[in-house]
């Protein structure tokens, strides 16, 4: 069986924390995207799509950190 040559660089506990934080960021981005922006004085610092993109990329990173738990 061929290996993917992907190694975890952090302990599994940090991977789980990264997954939880990234899910929270994705949920915040989705909630922000559903809200309409009427006042220009209340513009958020980051767009909703940016939060969703970075949240999903860190979610993938956190899942890679949990790969050693599968013990292939």
pTM for this predicted structure = 0.76
Burial of 28 (0-12, 13-18, 19+ CB in 10 A): middle
Report how far residue 23's alpha carbon sits from residue 34's, in angstroms, rounded to the nearest whole number: 17
Q: What is the pLDDT along the chain (72 residues), one digit of tens a residue?
A: 455 666 667 778 888 999 999 999 999 999 988 877 766 666 667 788 899 999 999 999 898 888 878 765
Annotated domain spans of the chain: 12-33+47-69
């Amino acid at each position: 069986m061929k290996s993917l040559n992907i190694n975890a660089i952090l302990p599994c506990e940090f991977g789980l924390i990264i997954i939880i934080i990234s899910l929270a960021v994705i949920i915040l981005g989705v909630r922000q995207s559903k809200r309409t922006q009427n006042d220009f004085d209340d513009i958020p610092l980051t767009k909703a799509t940016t939060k969703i993109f970075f949240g999903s990329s860190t979610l993938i990173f956190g899942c890679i950190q949990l790969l050693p738990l599968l013990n292939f």
